[in-house]
Amino acid sequence: MIYLDNSATTKPYKEALESYLTVSSEYFGNPSSIHSLGSDAEKLLQRSRDTIADLLNVAHNEIIFTSGGTESNNLAIRGCAIAKKNIGKHLITTAIEHPSVIQSFSNLEQEGFHVTVLPVDREGRVSVSDVESVLTQETTLVSIMHVNNETGVIQPVEEIAKMLTNYPNIDFHVDHIQGVGKVPLNLENIDFCSFSAHKFHGLKGNGLLVVKSDARLYPILNGGEQEWKLRAGTENVAGIVAMTKALRMTLEAAESHRNEWNSLKSYCMTKLAEMEGVHINTPKVHTAPHIINFSVPGIKSEVLVHALGSKKIYLSTTSACSSRRKAPSKTLTAMGAPSSIADSSIRLSMSHRTTMDEIEMFLTELKSAIITIKDVTR
């Protein structure tokens, strides 16, 4: 098996799985319970919170545990918009965000908020001036992803965050889900930042939202006082401990992994560029080291993905949250790509387990699949 769909989900670290099993079997108490089993679980929870806060260089009370990236994005966007609606109801995002962001803004728009969706250039980026040009006295929130989940394009979020410090009524949310361990991010001046455990070799169903202490947030889940009264619900302590382990392991090895990915990506993009009929969509600069997006015009992406899957080589089309819908890539469309490119896009995404031999095998099978499919469809 050659797994090249790590932007959809990653294989959990063995150590993370072991942590999950240990906590599930030996520290299964509810951390809100007052007996010793509950107290032991609460200590593990707080130790995880402190560890993650240290890893991210934020305060421990700025960590809110969630069920994953979708909830983190929804909590940041909806929670901020509602908390600050008396100040203003103008919100800003971009055309290339994850569905959990786009749909959150769409729902808020139906509730009377005004949303500005910024276009991107042909490289898939917005600029600081793009953002500043649409700010108004009513603006309360800007939400921009760090690394695009389809193309790997990196947005200048640190520069945007610095610019927004001149506008104290505006909070800034960054979806850092695809960037963790791949592209470094300084959280200074970022008010809300979303993370998802299964993107960095933790387990599905766990995530976190960094909420700076001076940011305002209205809870979207009610029924308890967990997570600083901002996210009700019994905490998944075993998953949180496993996420903490995975985040520490990911960040400790991040630099060496980035060097490996850059080498594999450079080689793969060179070979793809030499392959007849292949169009590379990921720009050469301002992109994450682990993602390559390409198209084979004339061949539907799902056909090619299934052909490679029959060889046990696994890639994806667009975002995993929307890849089952047969629609053109919204990101490539926003970048100005023609329908022939947007309809046939494929995403390759690597992990630290990806090897040069696997990339070579993928390239060989891709070339063979393209020839076979074109011969059949002539």
Three-state secondary structure call for residue 15: helix
Contact 352, 260 (CB under 8 A): yes
Per-residue model confidence (pLDDT) at position 323: 47
Token output for 297: 């015009």
Question: Are 179 and 65 within one domain?
Answer: yes
Question: Are 242 and 265 within one domain?
Answer: no
Question: Are 47 and 194 within one domain?
Answer: yes
142-151, 173-182, 223-232, 287-296, range with the lowest pLDDT? 223-232
Considering 205, 221, 251, which residue would you say is the last residue of a domain? 251
Per-residue model confidence (pLDDT) at position 204: 98
Contact 273, 330 (CB under 8 A): no
Nearby residues of 214 by Cβ (< 8 Å), 6 or more positions away: 191
Three-state secondary structure call for residue 107: helix
The predicted model gives 227-239 an average pLDDT of 88
Q: Whose CA is closest to 82, among 222, 199, 257, 269? A: 222
Q: Write out 130-173 in H/E/C secondary structure.
A: HHHHCCCCCEEEEEEECECCCCCEECCHHHHHHHHCCCCCCEEE
CATH number of the domain residue 294 falls in: 3.90.1150.10
CATH number of the domain residue 20 falls in: 3.40.640.10
Question: Are 235 and 302 within one domain?
Answer: no
Q: Which of 80, 193, 268, 321 is catalytic?
A: 321
36-40-41-43 Cα dihedral, nearest 10 degrees: 130
The predicted model gives 213-238 an average pLDDT of 88
Nearby residues of 145 by Cβ (< 8 Å), 6 or more positions away: 94, 96, 97, 98, 101, 155, 174, 175, 176, 177, 178
Q: DSSP alpha helices (H): ranges in the chain? A: 14-26, 36-56, 69-83, 99-110, 128-133, 157-164, 237-252, 254-274, 301-309, 330-334, 339-342, 356-377
Per-residue model confidence (pLDDT) at position 188: 95
- Residue 193 designated active-site: no
Considering 251, 285, 317, which residue would you say is the last residue of a domain? 251
Question: Are 89 and 174 within one domain?
Answer: yes
Contact 281, 337 (CB under 8 A): yes
> What is d(CA 35, CA 249) in angstroms, rounded to the nearest whole number?
32
Question: Are 53 and 191 within one domain?
Answer: yes
Residue 190 has pLDDT above 60, yes or no: yes
Which one is predicted more confidently, 230 or 184?
184
Beta strand 207-211 with 192-196 is antiparallel
Domain count along the chain: 2
The predicted model gives 94-114 an average pLDDT of 97
Residue 35 φ/ψ, nearest 5 degrees: -80, 175
Q: Which domain holds residue 101?
A: 14-251
Q: What is the pLDDT of residues 23-81, one digit of tens each?
A: 999 999 888 778 888 788 899 999 999 999 999 999 999 999 999 999 999 999 999 99
Question: Are 56 and 113 within one domain?
Answer: yes
Q: What is the pTM of this model?
A: 0.95
Residue 113 has pLDDT above 70, yes or no: yes
Per-residue model confidence (pLDDT) at position 331: 96
Question: Are 123 and 163 within one domain?
Answer: yes
In the structure, what pLDDT confidence band is assigned to residue 328 with cuts at 50, 70 and 90? confident
Q: What is the pLDDT of residues 315-327, one digit of tens each?
A: 999 754 544 556 7
Per-residue model confidence (pLDDT) at position 39: 82
Burial of 123 (0-12, 13-18, 19+ CB in 10 A): middle
How much of the chain exceeds pLDDT 90, in percent?
A: 86
Q: What is the pLDDT of residues 154-166, one digit of tens each?
A: 999 999 999 999 9
Question: Are 162 and 88 within one domain?
Answer: yes
Contact 71, 207 (CB under 8 A): yes
Question: Are 101 and 190 within one domain?
Answer: yes
Helix-then-strand count for the chain, H and E: 12, 12
Q: What is the pLDDT of residues 265-316, one digit of tens each?
A: 999 999 999 999 999 999 999 999 999 999 999 999 999 999 999 999 999 9
Residue 339's CB is within 10 A of a number of other CB atoms, namely: 11
Question: Are 47 and 97 within one domain?
Answer: yes
Per-residue model confidence (pLDDT) at position 68: 97
Q: Whose CA is closest to 282, among 269, 299, 271, 300? A: 269
Question: Are 226 and 273 within one domain?
Answer: no
Considering 236, 251, 266, which residue would you say is the last residue of a domain? 251
Contact 182, 152 (CB under 8 A): no
Contact 187, 57 (CB under 8 A): yes
Q: Whose CA is closest to 71, among 250, 257, 198? A: 198
